[in-house]
Amino acid sequence: MISKKLQDAINKQINKELYSEYLYLSMAAYLESIGLEGFANFFKVQIQEERFHAMKFFDYVNERGGRVILEAIDRPQIEFKSPVEIFEIAYNHEQYVTKLINELMEVAIKENDHAAKSFLNWYIDEQVEEEASMDKILNQLKMIGGKGQGMLMLDKELAARTFTPPAQ
């Protein structure tokens, strides 16, 4: 059985994961509106990852005999100055999510919930990948100055990204 404290913390995290999905959907919409379909595809795949993360938490709470309580999702930013700004926001957001996951782990440690600690280790590892992915593209965008032929090449590269659900 999951403790009430951990259940409440995970329910908040479910909301944050769904917000991440919503934020990345807003970014994809903006990028499509300026003709960068490859960049938009990158975020559409990211949307699927965020939904996977939220549902993994959702299922975990239910498997542990808890109750999922959904809250309203905040409206995301809808206007952006450039793809560089978008990836700066996305990178900062992933760092924020990493902080939240680490705080969840602290709750699991304080609650002495070894099953939750084991479960959360997957997210800790996943966040390393999430931050690295955003940082890599952000650095590439900065190298090419966020415009020109480099943008078109990067857009083409990002168009090839697909979602593959992680093995469970």
Task: Assess contact for 41 and 163: CB atoms under 8 A.
Answer: no
The model's confidence at residue 30, banded by pLDDT at 50, 70 and 90, is very high
Residue range 61-70: mean pLDDT, rounded: 98
Q: To the nearest whole percent, how much of the chain has pLDDT over 70? A: 99
Average pLDDT, the chain: 96
Query: DSSP assignment, residue 74?
Result: P
Reported as a single tens digit per residue, the pLDDT across 5-22 is 999 999 999 999 999 999
Distance (Å, whole) CA 28 – CA 85: 13
Place of tokens 């078109």: 152
Could you state, in order of their start, the residue ranges of all structural domains in the chain?
A: 4-159
Q: What is the pLDDT of residue 144?
A: 95
138 CB-contact burial (10 Å; exposed 0-12 / middle 13-18 / buried 19+): buried
Spatial distance between the Cα atoms of 18 and 72, rounded to a whole number of angstroms: 10
At the second CATH level, the architecture of 4-159 is Up-down Bundle (1.20)
Three-class secondary structure of residue 29 per DSSP: helix
Answer whether 0.85 is exceeded by the pTM.
yes
Residue 28, SS3? helix
Structure token digits, residue 40: 């938009």
Per-residue pLDDT averaged across 59-69, rounded? Answer: 98
Task: Name the band, by pLDDT with cuts 50, 70 and 90, for residue 147.
Answer: confident
Whether the predicted pLDDT of 168 surpasses 70: no
* Average of per-residue pLDDT across 61-77: 97
Asked if residue 59 has pLDDT above 90, the reply is yes
| Amino acid identity, position 100 | L
pLDDT in tens, 82-112: 999 999 999 999 999 999 999 999 999 999 9
More confident residue, 108 or 148: 108
pLDDT-based confidence at residue 120 (cuts at 50, 70, 90): very high
- Contact indicator for 137, 147 with CB cutoff of 8 Å: no
